Amino acid sequence: MKIKKMKKQDKQTYKVVRPPHLYIDFEKNELMLKTFILMSIIAVASVIVMGLGAFIHIITALGVVLLVHSVIHSYQKLKGIDFTYETPASPLVAGLIVGLSMPIAAPYEITALVAFLMILVFKYGQGKFLKRKYLNPAAASKSFLLVLLSVMVFLEDSLATGLLFHPHHLGLNLLTAEGFNNSMWIFAGKIIPFLGIELSAGQGLIFWQTHGWIGGASGITVLIIGSIAAYWLRYKWRIIVSGLVTMTLLSLGIGLIIGPDPFVRIAFHVFTGSFIFMIFFMATEPQSTPMPEISQYIFGISVAVLTFVFQLFNVLGGSIFALMILNVITPWLDKPIIRTPFGHKKTNGGA
């Protein structure tokens, strides 16, 4: 039987589009904007606790990031290249992370440099040349710069500038109860303005820290806001939970075995800015962290253990190094461990 060639249907009037055709309308920009709004609450709390210096650090980081983003965005627009970031929301979140992850004692120009490196090299650069961010941009730029400054022996007081092994910290001994107690003086005796309440070291660490990371000025604020963000915006919560639980158990353990008060140990190891802020807002950075659920638990536990060890040996950027180590091994963590798909459970007669 003779069949004719196509006639009328040849003329295509619509572009063929594959499914789906329905979208939740919750885009990356919205995710980033909501993250930024929530992190801004932590930034406000930090400025209240730490004062103008914290504000300048945050504004410096945001300003640098916004400037670099605007230049690149304008260039991409001029050249007709697809925008890497459609809006400044994602760069602003990264900038805020830089601001909040800087120690309050750091020079402002270091914050500006970290922000510059972060946005140009580790955010735009990694995305463009590696097609994926393997390292957390804020952590990578901060540790790169701090290590660089610390090893520049020709700089006057390079260790203090680099803030990696602060000379003052090198004298502390957190491996003994006495040494730990002696180290806590900087957190004790803080008086909350207007209320006039004087805080112990443990309370200071949780509520009112004027030392260390800007983002950890109020550890309890980070815990609350971070939990809300993780639940609301579906961060990789397994990393947060496993990290927090591991660090709490380790602190409790060392507190019970070596002393002093386990509560102060937990307050220090868990609520210090370099851990509590890092675990909520840096260790959950999606691109540099694993996908499988079990791998996320491994990631969280490992980052807590490494941070704990670094803390005990006074490495100031310890949590950042711990995070970067885990970032580097994430492609391997993605590989072997996957959940059992539907129809593969042996108990159900699966394949």
Partner 1 sequence: MLLKKKKDYKFKENGRFNVDISIKMAALKDPFSVVPPADEMIVFLRQHIGTEAEMLVNVGDSVKYGQKIGEIPKGILGAPIHSPVNGKIIELSKKFHPVSGEKETAVTIETMNEEQEPFFEPLNPDEEPSEVLLERVRESGIVGLGGASFPTHIKLSPSQKISHLIINAKESDPNIACDCRLMIEKPRAIISGINIMAKILDVKDITVATRTQEGETPEFEALLKEHNIKLERMPPNYSIGSEKLLVKEILGKEIPSGKFPTDVGILVHNVATAYAVDDAIENGNPLISRGLTYYSTDLGGKNLWVRMGTPVEHVLNFLGESPSKFNRIVLGSILMGSTIANPSYPILKATSAVTGFTDKESDPYRNPLPCIRCGYCNTVCPVYIYPQLIMEAEKKNDVDRLRKLHVEDCIECGLCSYVCPSRIRFTRYLTNGKNLVKNQEF
Tokens 């939740």 — which residue? 24
Nearest distance from C-beta of residue 124 to partner 1, angstroms: 12
* CA–CA gap between residue 308 and residue 137 (Å, rounded): 22
Degrees to nearest 5, angle at CA 282 with 322 and 192: 100
Binding range to partner 1, per CB under 8 A, among 135-143, 215-223, 246-254, 333-341: 333-341
* CA–CA gap between residue 150 and residue 157 (Å, rounded): 9
Nearest distance from C-beta of residue 15 to partner 1, angstroms: 7
Q: Which of 197, 253, 286, 309 binds partner 1 (CB under 8 A)?
A: 286
Q: Of residues 223-252, which lie at the interface with partner 1 (CB under 8 A)? A: 232-234, 236
Nearest distance from C-beta of residue 76 to partner 1, angstroms: 13
Q: Give whichever of 130 and 151 is closer to partner 1, judged by the CB atom.
A: 130
| Other beta carbons less than 10 A from residue 203's beta carbon | 19
Q: Which of 35, 289, 311, 319 binds partner 1 (CB under 8 A)?
A: 289
Q: Of residues 74-103, which lie at the interface with partner 1 (CB under 8 A)? A: 82, 84, 86
* CA–CA gap between residue 216 and residue 275 (Å, rounded): 8
Nearest distance from C-beta of residue 304 to partner 1, angstroms: 20
Q: Which two tokens stand for residue 193?
A: 């303005």
Q: Which of 107, 292, 305, 312 binds partner 1 (CB under 8 A)?
A: 292
- Residue 18 interacts with partner 1 (CB under 8 A): yes or no: yes
Q: 162 and 150 in contact (C-beta within 8 Å)? A: yes
3-state secondary structure of 213: strand
- Residue 20 interacts with partner 1 (CB under 8 A): yes or no: yes
- Of 327, 274, 272, which is closest to residue 137 (Cα–Cα)? 327
- Residue 109 interacts with partner 1 (CB under 8 A): yes or no: no
- Residue 339 interacts with partner 1 (CB under 8 A): yes or no: yes
Residues near partner 1 (CB under 8 A), total: 57
Q: Give whichever of 167 and 343 is closer to partner 1, judged by the CB atom.
A: 343
- Residue 185 interacts with partner 1 (CB under 8 A): yes or no: no
* CA–CA gap between residue 289 and residue 135 (Å, rounded): 9
Q: Which two tokens stand for residue 19?
A: 């499914």
* CA–CA gap between residue 267 and residue 33 (Å, rounded): 31
Peptide bond connecting 260 to the previous residue in cis, omega within 30 degrees of 0: yes
Nearest distance from C-beta of residue 240 to partner 1, angstroms: 13
Q: Which of 28, 51, 109, 198 binds partner 1 (CB under 8 A)?
A: 28
Nearest distance from C-beta of residue 222 to partner 1, angstroms: 21
Q: Which of 132, 256, 309, 325 binds partner 1 (CB under 8 A)?
A: 132
Nearest distance from C-beta of residue 292 to partner 1, angstroms: 7
Q: Which amino acid is at 131?
A: K
Nearest distance from C-beta of residue 141 to partner 1, angstroms: 19
Q: How far apart are the first and last CA of the chain?
A: 46
Nearest distance from C-beta of residue 266 to partner 1, angstroms: 29
Distance, CA of 317 to chain centre: 13
- Residue 12 interacts with partner 1 (CB under 8 A): yes or no: yes
Q: Mention every residue, 6+ apart, whose C-beta is less than 8 A from residue 31.
A: 233
- Of 30, 92, 98, 42, which is closest to residue 234 (Cα–Cα)? 30
Q: Which of 177, 192, 241, 291 binds partner 1 (CB under 8 A)?
A: 291
- Residue 178 interacts with partner 1 (CB under 8 A): yes or no: no
- Of 71, 82, 68, which is closest to residue 121 (Cα–Cα)? 68
> Which residues lie near partner 1 (CB under 8 A)?
1-9, 11-28, 30-31, 82, 84, 86, 127, 131-132, 232-234, 236, 286-287, 289, 291-292, 334, 338-345, 348-351
